[in-house]
Amino acid sequence: MALTSIITVNYNQPGLTLDLLKSIAKNGRTNDLEVIVVDNASVVDNEKLFSDSYPGLIYIRSEVNLGFAGGNNLGIKQAKGEYILMVNNDTEIIAGFVEQLVAEMVANPKIGIVSPLILYYDDPRVVQYAGYTPINLITGRNRTLGQGTINKGLYVNASYQTAFCHGAAMMCRKNDIDLIGLMPEQYFLYYEELDWCEMFKRAGKLIWFSGKTHILHKESMSVGKDSATKTYFITRNRLLFMRRNTNWFSIAMFSTYYFLLAVPKQLITYLVKGRSDLIPSVVNALSWHFSHSKKHQTAIPVNLSISPLK
């Protein structure tokens, strides 16, 4: 099998990263793998801890938090594999996982990015991701296929084109990245993999889902508490994605919906829930757009209090 570079980004979560490395050591064909851990300016430098856990590990430490895309891009630049597999550090792989994703790409050269079936670690019967629907050009939202359903074989062995990959696990070819470009870093957190998928689509590549293998994701099945950071980036990047990937008419339609309906509803919801502390994050997110052009390309490192993961 061709060399595959597995890249994961760590941000103050050494325990989760160690668990992932152990699952790769247990379930991966080590002779065909290059494993890269990118540390995104964690408080503690755990290079020795990670290297002891996975001999031959490539460890890259950034002195500033570059976000999800920036961290992965650091790893991609160092990667030597023909295939690049980016996985969240809060995931664990199963036996044959890498081989099956490579087999999908070999079988169909038109595939640009492939994501596997994603199941919840706490209850592997439950689906988190089995593909995405396209973005609604008016609301700027889409739907996750299979989310929350009990996996009774509906998605197992299924293989089909989908609108977007999932940032928790996605594989692509290094040659395609060299031609298409790295993951856009201006998002910092959320929406960057959706934008990257659009870049691959414009290059004539397919976005693919494979249920022939799966990964276990430790993300909670319940909706976590909103934070100022999450609110800021979700609000800002929803509009940024639309500005970068749609035409002027769609932007006008979306902006009308967003500013006259979605944002007021969001602010009222925060007031009703007693979360008025999140309102400044919404205001700051919208203000950002008045000082940045549609094709804004500069990513500003931010010191986050949460992990820049999916």
**Residue pLDDT, tens place only, 28-70:** 877 899 999 999 999 999 999 999 999 999 999 999 999 999 9
Q: How far apart are CA 53 and CA 49, in angstroms?
A: 6
Domain chopping of the chain, boundaries: 1-310
pTM (2 d.p.) = 0.90
* Gyration radius (Cα) of the chain, Å: 19
**First-to-last C-alpha distance (Å) of the chain:** 28
Q: What pLDDT was estimated at residue 303?
A: 36
Q: What is the pLDDT of residue 168?
A: 96
In the predicted model, residues of the chain with pLDDT beneath 50 are 222-224, 296-310
Amino acid at 292: H
Domain 1-310: state its class: alpha beta
Give 85: exposed, middle or buried? Use CB within 10 Å, 0-12, 13-18, 19+.
buried
Q: Please, are residues 5 and 80 in contact by the beta-carbon 8 Å criterion?
A: yes
**What confidence score (pLDDT) does residue 293 get?**
63
User: What phi and psi, each to the nearest 5 degrees, are found at residue 72?
Assistant: -65, -40
Query: Which run of H or E residues covers position 201?
Result: helix 192-202
pLDDT at 290: 80
State the virtual CA torsion across 96, 101, 105, 106 in degrees, nearest 10.
0
Query: Which residue in the block uniquely carries the two structure tokens 């696990």?
Result: 169
Nearest to 89 by CA among 40, 43, 141, 153: 40
